[in-house]
Structure 1
Amino acid sequence: MNERMEFRPNQLQINICEKYGMAVLAPEVMVAVALQTLGQSPIYGSRVELPEGGTVSWFIHCGEYSKADDFYKPLHAHHLDEILPQVVSYLCLPTGAKFIIDTGEYEDVWMAE
């Protein structure tokens, strides 16, 4: 069963989806975050197709990416309000969406090829 966060998307989340012409899709309860990269810039997010039996479709890291097996850690999405609030507005982007934001006003959102 795909557990989606039980909330109605807020207006900021809807606005981001509309701005880029994308459908609104609530995220799963869990996300994957590279916790050791918090505080770095820019911030990257990628939403992949939820694998069968999977619980995570969002992968988020800051700064440089690593291919290390333990780079991402599972985290309840509601913790993002505390540790990475700037990504919360992007969580309703659909499967295949990617974003890059920085500590200034840079923002790029697109669909993966």
Structure 2
Amino acid sequence: MCQQYSSDVVLPDPHLKIGIAIDSLSNMPITGVRCTPENGTDGWYIWGGDHSSETEFYQPLHLSHIGEFAPQVVPYLALAPGFKFIIDNDGYEDVWFDPSLLEPS
């Protein structure tokens, strides 16, 4: 995946956490964005369907458990910070680099 999209290989640390909207994962498409890792997180935020700004939208999840909730995203998790992906159950895939994800918030 990394070679296909000209990304450095940045393997995720299975002991770090991601933000994942578990309740939304049955909705399509599934979106993932990787920000700069910080404060015990690997930088990944993953959700299904429309994004929400509600404070309870994301739940923390150790990366070692991602396969239980969203196995279809596992091939994308070594993409470097700054990458985004959108996939669905019908084979749609879009992957790109967004430098704004690396800017301090």
State TM-score, norm by structure 1.
0.80
Gaps of 5+ in 1: 1-15
In structure 1, distance between residues paired with 2:8 and 2:50: 29
1:22 partnered with 2:14: no
The answer to whether structure 1 residue 32 and structure 2 residue 19 are counterparts is: yes
RMSD between aligned residues: 1.1
Question: Paired residue for 2:92?
Answer: 106
Secondary structure of 2:2's counterpart equals helix
CA distance in 2, matches of 1:105, 1:77: 24
- Written as runs of structure 1 = structure 2, the 5 A alignment for 1:42-53 is 42-51=29-38, 53=39
Aligned to 2:66: 80
- Tell me which amino acid in the other structure corresponds to 1:44: T
2:17–2:40 Cα contact (<8 Å) kept: no
Determine if the alignment matches structure 1 residue 89 to structure 2 residue 75.
yes
d(CA) in 1 for partners of 2:71 and 2:26? Answer: 12
TM-score of the two chains, using structure 2 as the length reference = 0.86
Unaligned regions of 5+ residues in structure 2, if any?
Answer: 100-105
Aligned length: 97
The CA distance in 1 between the partners of 2:42 and 2:11, in whole Å, is: 12
